[in-house]
Amino acid sequence: MDECGSRIRRRVSVRKRNRPSLGTIFATPTAAELKPSNEEETEEEKAGSRRRKTVGVQPLENNDSEEDMFGDYDSFSENSFLAQVVDLEQKYMQLPENRKHDTDLATEDLCSESLKHNKVSITTVDSFTELKMGEHTKNQSGHEDVSIELGADLLYELPSSQVLYFGNVQNSSNDFGDQSTKERDCNSASLKTVNEELPNNSVEQPQQINASSHVRTSSDVNRRKSLKDHLKSAMTGNAKAQTPMFSRTKQLKETLLSEEINVAKKTIESSSDDLGPFYSLPSKVRDLYVQFKGIEKLYDGVLMNEKGKLHNLLAECKRKALKFTQIFVLSCSCSGDPDDASCPAGTACPVGILNLSLQLAKWQHTCLTLNSVQERKNLIYSLPTSGGKTLVAEILMLQELLCRRKDVLMILPYVAIVQEKISGLSSFGIELGFFVEEYAGSKGKFPPIKRREKKSLYIATIEKGHGLVNSLIETGRISSLGLVVVDELHMIGEGSRGAILEMTLAKLLYTSKTTQIIGMSATLNNVEDLQEFLQAEYYTSQFRPVELKEYLKINDSICEVDSKAENGMTFSRLLNYKYSDTLKKMDPDHLVALVTEVIPNYSCLVFCPTKKNCENVAEMICTFLSKEYMKHKEKEKQEVIKNLKNISSGNLCPVLKRTIPLGVAYHHSGLTSDERKLLEEAYSTGVLCLLTCTSTLAAGVNLPARRVILRAPYVAKEFLKRNQYKQMIGRAGRAGIDSVGESILILQEKDKQQVLDLISRPLENCYSHLVQESTKGIQTLFLSLVGLKIATNLHDIYHFMSGTFFGVQQKILLKEKSLWEITVESLRYLIEKGLLQKDTILTEKGHMQKDALYEFKEEFQYSFHITKLGRASFKGTIDLAYCDILYRDLKKGLEGLVLESLLHLIYLTTPYDMAFQRDPDWMIYFRQFSQLSPAEQNAAALVGVSENYIGKKASGQAIKKKVDKNIVNRLYLSFILYTLLKETNIWNVSEKFNMPRGYVQNLLTAAATFSSCVLHFCEELEEFWVYRALLVELTKKLTYCVKAELIPLMEVTGVLEGRAKQLYNGGYKSLAHLANADPEVLIRTIDHLSRRQAKQIVSSAKMLLHEKAEALQEEVEELLRLPSDFPGIVASPSVKA
């Protein structure tokens, strides 16, 4: 291919009328062959009409994302030409009079469609790989050369691997072609009566019936039989199909995918620059991006979605003589006409988006073709929010799963994002043959199931990802993990979660030299430290699909942020909005003026410092909005309200009831996950145009807006950090819809200087929290190092620490103590807690030294082993600050465990760290305590809390007796969980305990996770065997907190309680029901279910069903497998060695 990017055209040679057409084999007999009977004549005419309807090629139409987009012969969709051939074949195989035509012509017919005349004929394909750069020509053998160009709508260029495959098919049938040439020439005259072409659907040709022909001649029958025999012998392996139940399309699809994976695998292992059909991936992956990602065209590296206009872009490329390799054009609501004034992005929408897309193509293509990526080196890449980082990560993960045949781990920061990613990638897993497994909350198996053939994509939170890596190291399977992708890598510097992420990556680097690590983030500054820690290359770009303009609002003035200006900003405009005296008092910051410039035609986000402020701002804005706003998508908004009631058992937040009719809602952690998900969906589809939210939305799901407003430069009471500011304003600008995104930070005069410093300073540096979070950091790390036998002596442990992120930054972070001293002190703490034991220590001379641990001399070799309590804490991922308390509580519980109710068991699994977060309401506490049964009061007394104590606290009396506050608070949380399990209604429980329903749900989620941890803790200690069966059931109850019949449905990712009830009432009562459901039927059956959601639910259910079936199959094979130590079996030399 030359530098001008010339398109390769494939010449498909079509022999004209030398062989019978598809219609001939099943066609109406000629006049000479017909019998005089009128009944037979009528039947034949009807059959011919049916056949024409079945086989006729339909006119080209615009296809949606679910249809064939790459040409009829290179597709397996239900509307493709190949599928029509198979349907026709199966239809005639079912008819008794046509069983003699039981011949599959799928392979030979792949390239036999005549576009010019809209007819179908069976042809001999002479070449699939000849290149043609000129116009149509005819060769000497009477073949017509059809040049299939890149831009053709019907056909799409075959990838090289498919060309190779069909070339092999053609070579295997050459013998038949040579032998039959002469006979075809001799019989050509007689075949003219047989070789009838099927007419166009729109014009039916009347059949001329010769009444004088009453009987078929024997020569006609022989010729037809001979032709049939030749056709059968020509089909490479396809003629043996005996039943219409066998799908040749499916077989061909699987064969092609296998061929392409093999080719891609060879390509990716070679040093060639040719990246194959789609970045070393099969072209099937392109088809799936079309089907599942809402992208309509994928043409020569051009990705477009359903509202893009490919011809406009191609024309613009040709006009500007532009060369491109990969263009991503996102959605636009306009017609695609450059002169369309209704386009929200501007009148030159396609041109503007094209220029941006060329820039986007450049960074993504460059990143995917970096030498570090090709050579499997670790990589960190950083781009602004909405820059398209995720697509690059997905392509790299698919390369690992399909081409290198290795498992992949993707670490994400939050459970909601994990579930969103699971739903999005399950469809890919089903189609491409890999498993997508969820590791979040209480979900996830340790160690993961070892698959027989298929590979797994593990999608995990930070904590679950750490546990997964530990289990793989322990079982010696860490080398099976080929790639680890970390999203939001900057979180390595954020508290205890950052320490856990650092431990995970440090263990990977130390134990597996073959595992590649890819980290991505939008807010990284001190990248050099991270590069040194991860031994990684670094790639960055400042690309944004939509330009972002930053503004500051001071009083009535709006200034644009300008780094070149002397004070960092330039005056832009004055707010021109007529305020009444009442409005000035209610809205001193002019929020109403700012949002009404945008809504309802565009979307807007307002970030507020606190959750309560979110609700107040939403109500305030709605108070002053015109009633005209209620008419915008009025029916859709009523549907949202109705759906909110359905998922909340008839309850509806009074604030949302007032704001949603005007297109406004609030979004924060006080809402349940069902409510947040529904509001996010309504905002994404444009039903809601304004969300007031907290800063957590910026780090969570992707909800972009035309304008982002920061209510104040604070998060709670703390001043905004640069990283937080960048994340918030990064939501401004919707790619493909907006031509520009705007952010406006509202500030007071007193904060002006701080804000000017905020917008001008660099991003905050990322620092290790491994030592700062001691019990969740360095001490947990040392315990796991010894437990996993990664490092069992002082020298090895110190060497490991030198390679951590903390080790890289030790000169900055350590002021008073050295790394060696911190290492020794942490080991001493673990010994004192009874989690580690020191072995006999030998000096270099071999003398016994019992107390050498405390002597800080390098000549001593210290060795450690983990205790039973230490192993239980390590396996259960228990915070070491609470492991001894948990042990005592469980031990005490054995003395008098109350099993008449769940209260005692729930108390044992209530998270310790949540007891500090909220003080009880003593009146509610006393009221709930007085309603306990005698057995439940006995359970409370066993843990150390009496009714007398609670009564005195409620009445405000002085209490002389000391009671552990943590126990009292923890029992109060246990009351909430116990009530919730009995009632299963979060709304009722939140009202009863006067707590936000979101907090109650978060408590439930944390309790389910901790219950799973306690279960693993007990599994390692034989004395706690009695808890094992009890905790298995309790963990399941806490995880789903619904009636038992809904649990199988809620196992599916993305199906929460409200949706599970709808599905159950609609007749979908099991996992198998969902896995076999038709998304279109689901949409009609279940209220308020979008097509995208329906497809994700079905895909997730199929994936879960496949995982369970695979696990059972593995168990069966393991049971039937002959034991390796069976008597009489002689080990092979390799085994003996």
Q: DSSP for 839-856, please give it.
A: ---B-TT--B-TTGGGS-
Q: Are 165 and 49 in contact (CB under 8 A)?
A: no
- Distance, CA of 501 to CA of 517 (rounded, Å): 13
- pLDDT value at residue 280: 75
Q: In this model, does residue 1121 exceed pLDDT 70?
A: yes
Burial of 518 (0-12, 13-18, 19+ CB in 10 A): buried
Encoding tokens for residue 1024? 């706690």
CA distance 492 to 506: 12
pLDDT, residue 439, reads 94
Distances (CA, A) of 435 to 228, 430, 442, 1111: 44, 7, 19, 12
Place of tokens 């799928």: 106
CB-based contact 604:595 (threshold 8 Å): yes
pLDDT at 888 over 90: yes
Between CA 919 and CA 910 the distance in angstroms is 15
Cα distance between residue 880 and residue 883, in whole Å:
5
Coil/strand/helix, residue 416:
helix
Structure-block tokens of residue 968: 């009292």
Q: Does residue 689 contact residue 730 with C-beta atoms inside 8 Å? A: no
Residue 183 has pLDDT above 50, yes or no: no
How many of the other CB atoms lie within 10 Å of CB of 401? 26
Task: Give the number of residues written for the chain.
Answer: 1137
Non-local CB neighbours of 507 within 8 Å, separated by 6+ positions: 469, 470, 473, 784, 788, 790
Largest CA distance in the chain: 120
Provide the 3-class DSSP secondary structure of residue 789. Answer: coil
Distance of CA 974 to the CA centre of its chain: 35
Based on its alpha-carbon atoms, the radius of gyration of the chain, rounded to whole angstroms, reads 35
Report helix, strand or coil for 690. strand
Above pLDDT 90, what percent of the chain?
42
Q: State the pairing for strand pair 714-715/836-838.
A: unpaired
pLDDT digits (tens, 9 = 90+) for 709-731: 999 999 988 999 999 999 899 88
Who has greater pLDDT, 925 or 13? Answer: 925
CA-to-CA distance for 978 and 308, rounded, in angstroms?
53
Span of 143-152, 502-511, 893-902, 1036-1045 with lowest mean pLDDT: 143-152
3-state secondary structure of 673: helix
Residue with the larger pLDDT of the pair 537 and 301: 537
Question: In the block, which residue shows the tokens 């094209």?
Answer: 354
Angle among Cα 177, 181, 186 to the nearest 5 degrees reads 155
447: preceding bond cis by omega (within 30 degrees): yes
pLDDT at 1088: 74
How far apart CA 520 and CA 492 sit, in angstroms, is 12
Two structure tokens written together for 814: 């350590």
Do you find a cis peptide bond into 661, omega within 30 degrees of 0? Answer: no
pLDDT digits (tens, 9 = 90+) for 741-763: 999 999 999 999 999 999 988 98
Average pLDDT score over residue span 424-444: 90
Average pLDDT over residues 959-982: 91
Range with top average pLDDT, 10-19, 230-239, 307-316, 1042-1051: 1042-1051
Least confident of 297-311, 475-489, 561-575, 1014-1028: 297-311
Indicate the range of 504-513, 1066-1075, 1127-1136 predicted with least confidence: 1127-1136
Cα separation, 765 vs 1042, in Å, equals 44
pLDDT band at residue 806, thresholds of 50, 70 and 90? very high
Query: Token pair 């080209």 is at which residue?
Result: 60
Residue whose token pair is 């929460």: 1056
Q: How confident is the model at residue 265 (pLDDT cuts 50, 70, 90)?
A: low
pLDDT at 758: 92
Q: Which helix (H) or strand (E) holds 666?
A: strand 664-667
Q: How does DSSP classify residue 821?
A: H
CA distance 873 to 470: 13
More confident residue, 180 or 880: 880
Phi, psi of 551 (to 5 degrees): -130, 155
166 vs 1052, more confident? 1052
pLDDT at 772: 84
Please say whether the beta carbons of 867 and 457 come within 8 A.
no
The amino acid present at 535, given as its one-letter code, is Q
CA–CA separation, 1002 vs 998, rounded Å? 6
Q: Give the model confidence (pLDDT) of 982-1009 as tens digits.
A: 887 899 999 999 999 999 999 999 999 9
Mean pLDDT of 95-120: 39
Range with the lowest mean pLDDT among 32-46, 109-123, 683-697, 759-773? Answer: 109-123
Q: Are the CB atoms for 642 and 744 separated by under 8 Å? A: no
The answer to whether residues 286 and 298 touch, using CB atoms and an 8 Å cutoff, is yes
| pLDDT tens column, 266-277 | 555 544 444 456
Assess whether pLDDT exceeds 50 at residue 529. Answer: yes
Q: Where are the alpha helices (DSSP H) in 944-1077?
A: 947-955, 965-983, 986-992, 997-1019, 1025-1040, 1047-1050, 1057-1065, 1071-1075
- Taking all residues of the chain, what is their mean pLDDT, rounded to a whole number? 75
Mean pLDDT computed over 757-776: 88
pLDDT, residue 524, reads: 87
Task: Tell me the C-alpha distance between 621 and 765, whole Å.
Answer: 37
DSSP state of 568: S
Burial 243-276 (b: 16+ CB within 10 A, else e): eeeeebbeebbeebbebbbebbbebbeeeeeebb
773 pLDDT band, cuts 50/70/90, is confident
End-to-end CA distance of the chain: 53
d(CA 761, CA 1006): 37
Give the model's pLDDT for residue 229.
61
Better pLDDT: 388 or 78: 388
Q: Which residues contact 794 (CB under 8 A, 6 or more apart)?
A: 823, 824, 827, 860, 861, 862
Q: Is the pLDDT of residue 699 over 50?
A: yes
**pLDDT at residue 564 in the model:** 86
Calculate mean pLDDT across residues 76-90. Answer: 52
Put simply, whether the predicted model's pTM sits higher than 0.85 gets the answer: no
The amino acid occupying position 1058 is G
- Closest listed residue to residue 745, CA positions, set 502, 596, 569: 569
Q: Measure the CA–CA gap between 788 and 875, rounded to whole angstroms.
A: 10
* Tokens 């999608």, residue located: 459
CA separation for the pair 1087, 645 (Å, rounded): 12
3-state SS assignment for residue 390: helix
HSE of 207, CA atoms in CB hemisphere, 13 A: 24
More confident residue, 155 or 280: 280
